[in-house]
Chains A and B, each alone.
Chain A
Amino acid sequence: MRHSLKKGGLILTLYKHSLSISLLILFLISFALHWYGSNKDYNKIQLIEGKSTESMFTYFSNSRLWFESFQNWQSEFLSVFAIIFLSIYLREIGSPQSKPVDAPHTETGE
């Protein structure tokens, strides 16, 4: 860690964004596994019902994959929206996610 900070250059640039890069990679891995698992489950059911299966590629445009994705995404975005918006007006004493109880609604930041 100390070494990477001293060296600077590319490594430091990457380290400055390591949190978002890591989360993005986790998102991509999870999406790939979701895609794979959803396709596998879909094909299993199709086979049981005597219908044709789909490849990963064609399954990408199947509404089932996107129904599952949007279902989770919408609630995540809503959740972030809710905490940002509600924390303008509402308080939780002692919680670092809240402003101090007597802080004005116009106060911005931690």
Chain B
Amino acid sequence: MTPIHKTSFIYKNSLTLVFLLLAVLAIGGQTLTGLDQYNNFLNEHNQTPVSLLNYLSTGHFIQATFENWESEFFQMALFVWFTVFLRQKGSSESKQLTGKEEVDRQPKKHAKAPWPVKRLSQNYTKRVATENTETQRFDFLVVFLCALCGFVLIVLF
């Protein structure tokens, strides 16, 4: 096995590359097995089967793909958002129970900061220093959960 240098592009991006590769392989597997399923269905109902390319624009493929993407992005968005103000004692995914953490700090301008931070006015840090983003978002969570419950009830009845 050839040693991978710690300065190589592959090593520096290996986590992203491997998950991207797995996603691409699984999408490929889904497409081929989905095509087989769909054409079996068409054959049973005396319809002409579709080509691989045409399969990509069928509802069968689009529904199967985005039904899953939708749920992934939904859960990841909620995970990123809820970990701002909810806690789990003992969990490595949670912030500490008390005190401010690095991620809570308001941005300060410096040479290597992302461009939206670099274009801040000098008095920005002073102005937002008193803002507590956590409690504001907690109120928002209550509104969100009520809306979700309401939505589920409307769909059910």
Hey, which bits of chain A sit against chain B, CB under 8 A? 63-64, 66-67, 69-85, 89, 91-106, 110
- Across the interface, B76 reaches (CB within 8 A) one of A63, A64, A71, A83, namely A83
With A63-B36, A63-B37, A104-B112 known as contacts, the answer to whether A77 contacts B29 (CB < 8 A) is no
User: Is A94 touching B133 in the complex (CB atoms < 8 A)?
Assistant: yes
Q: B73 near A79 (CB under 8 angstroms)?
A: yes
Partner among A71, A83, A104, A110 whose Cβ is within 8 Å of the Cβ of B114: A104
- Decide yes or no whether B94 CB sits under 8 A from chain A: yes
Q: Which of A70, A94, A100 has the most CB of B within 10 A?
A: A94
Which chain A residues border B79 with CB–CB below 8 Å?
97
Query: Shortest distance in angstroms between B16's beta carbon and chain A's nearest beta carbon?
Result: 5
Q: Which A-B residue pairs are the 10 nearest by beta carbons?
A: A75-B68, A74-B26, A70-B30, A102-B107, A77-B23, A79-B72, A104-B112, A67-B33, A70-B29, A81-B19
CB pair B15 A84 closer than 8 Å: yes
Q: What are 8 pairs between A and B in contact, CB < 8 Å?
A: A66-B33, A71-B65, A73-B22, A75-B72, A78-B72, A79-B72, A79-B75, A103-B114
Known: A94-B85, A95-B103. A78 touches B69 (CB 8 A): yes
**Chain A residues whose C-beta falls within 8 Å of the C-beta of B114 in the assembled complex:** 89, 91, 101-105
Query: From A65, which residue of chain B is reached at the shortest CB distance?
Result: B33
Instruction: Give the residue of B36, B68, B84 whose beta carbon is less than 8 angstroms from that of A94.
Output: B84
Q: What residues make up the interface of B, taking CB atoms closer than 8 Å to A?
A: 15-16, 19-20, 22-23, 26-27, 29-30, 32-34, 36-37, 40, 64-65, 67-69, 71-73, 75-76, 79-81, 83-85, 93-95, 101-110, 112-114, 117, 133-134, 137
State the main secondary structure of chain A at its contact with B.
Answer: helix
B26 touches A93 (CB 8 A): no
Q: How far is the CA of A49 from the CA of B105 in the complex (A)?
A: 63
Q: Given A95-B81, A95-B103, A100-B103, check contact A77 B19 (CB 8 Å).
A: yes
